[in-house]
Amino acid sequence: MDYSENIKLHTMANGVRIITEKVPGVKSCSLGFWVGTGSRMEREDEQGITHFIEHLLFKGTETRSAKDIAESLDSVGGQLNAFTAKEMTCYYARVMEEHLPLASDVLTDMLFHSTFASDFMDKERGVIKEEISMYEDSPDELIHDVFLEAAWPDNPLGTPILGTAESLDRIDRDMVRRYIDRQYVPERIVIACAGSLEHERVVELLTPAFAGLKQAKQPALIPAPAALSGNDAHLTKDTGQVQICLGTRGVSAPDDRNYPLYVLNNVLGGGLSSRLVQTIREERGLAYSTYSFNSAFSDSGIFALCAGTSPQTAELVVSLIRQEMDLIRKDGISAEELMRAKEQVRGSLYMGLESVSNRMNRIGRNLLLLDRIISPEETMEKVDEVVREEIPALAEYLFEGPQVLATIGPS
C-alpha cells in the first residue's frame, strides 16, 4: 500500500509492518523497532519489567558484548537508544545512509539474540534502582508519577514505568522470557524508517530477521480501560517548592477532539503567551514553570495543568489554575488566541519535521496507536477547521468530571 509518494507500507505474512518515509535532501536515516507493549500491559507481579527488558537488550547478545553494542554505531558516528512508555516500547538508531545495514543488524541482534545473562541482570537492576533514586530526587519529574498513581490507583496506567526497587528484585530470567513471548508478537510490531532510503531495500534488510517470528498462541495482555479516580495525593518532601499537578479526563489518541484540544491546550498552558504563564508567572511572579498537557492513550486520556511554587503561595496557585479552567469553560477563547494557537501548532509541527528522527517517531507512533498515518497536511487541515465555538464545549467535557490534585512539598 502506498500512502504517498514518499511514505510506503509493507505488511509481512506474519503481521509485522514495515513503514518508511523517504526524505529528500538528507544524508541520514532513523530506524525504529516499535513494540505495542508498555508498563500498562504488565501484570501486578511484573511491575517495571517492560523497562527492565529495554535495558537488558543493550547488555549482550550471543555474538556481541554490551561494549560491542555500545561501540557498534558510535564508531560510525551514529546513535543508538530506546525508551519505554505506558503503551509502547521503541528501540531506535540514527545513522548515515550507508550504515543502515549495520543499524539493522545491531537492532535485530539485540531483539532476537539477547542472552539475559544473570550477572548482567543483577548489574542492571542496580542501574535502574539508581535511575529511580535520581527520579525521586527531581520533584518536578516525580510529580507526574504521583499524579498518575492518584488518578489510576487500581490500573497499570497509574504505576511507574520504572517499577520499584522491590518489584525489580522479583524479576528473573524466566519472567523476562515469558513476557517477551506474550507481548513481543508480530501483530504488535512496527518497523519505521525515515530519511535517505529506498523502501524496497529496507524491506529486504528487515524481512529475513522478522519472517520467522510466529504469531502468539494466545493474545497479548490488553488491560481494561481506566476511569479517573477523582483522588487527591500529597507526597511530603523537604523541598523549597510545592509541585502541583491538577488533572481531569482527557481524550484518547484516536479521538477527533484532539484537534480542538491542541488549541485549548496551547491557549491554557502551551507556551510563553499562554494564560497560565501570563497569569501565574508574568502578572504575579508566583512560578518559574507552569504548563498544561494531554496524555493520550489508545482508549483514554488525561489532561493536566501544572506549576511549581512556594509553599506559601501553593493554595493561591491552585485557585488561579481553577480560575483559568472556569474562564475558558464559560467564555471560551478570543479570535486572536485561536489564530495564535493554530500558528503555534503549525510551527511546532513543521519545524519538527525537519528531523528524520521526528519523522520516524511520527509514522511509527501513528501506525502503532492509530493503525494509519495522519499526514502533517491532514493534521493542519483539521486544526484549521477548529472554530471558537468548539472550545467551551470541549472544556466542559474535560472539566465537568472527576478532578485529581497531586502535590509534592513540605507538609
Portion of the chain with pLDDT greater than 70, in percent:
99
Residue 3, pLDDT score: 58
The bridge status of strand 17-22 relative to strand 189-195 is parallel
What 184-187 contacts at long range (C-beta under 8 Å, 24+ apart), as own/partner pairs, is 184/35, 184/37, 184/111, 185/15, 185/213, 185/215, 185/216, 185/220, 186/12, 186/14, 186/15, 186/16, 186/210, 186/213, 186/214, 186/215, 187/15, 187/215
Domain range summary for the chain, segments of one domain joined by +: 7-210, 232-409
- pLDDT tens digits, one per residue of 164-200: 999 999 999 999 999 999 999 999 999 999 999 999 9
CATH C-level class of 232-409: alpha beta
Element (H, E) at 128: helix 118-136
**What mean pLDDT is predicted for residues 16-31?**
97
Region 115-135: mean pLDDT is 95
- Name the residue with cell 504575579: 284
d(CA 250, CA 159): 18
Share the mean pLDDT of the chain. 95
For the cut 80, the answer to whether the pLDDT of residue 218 exceeds it is no
Q: Are 290 and 276 spatial neighbours (Cβ–Cβ below 8 Å)?
A: yes
pLDDT, tens digit (0-9, with 9 covering 90-100), for 335-354: 999 999 999 999 999 999 99
Q: What's the CATH fold of domain 7-210?
A: Cytochrome Bc1 Complex; Chain A, domain 1 (3.30.830)
Residues catalogued as catalytic: 54
Res 58: pLDDT: 97
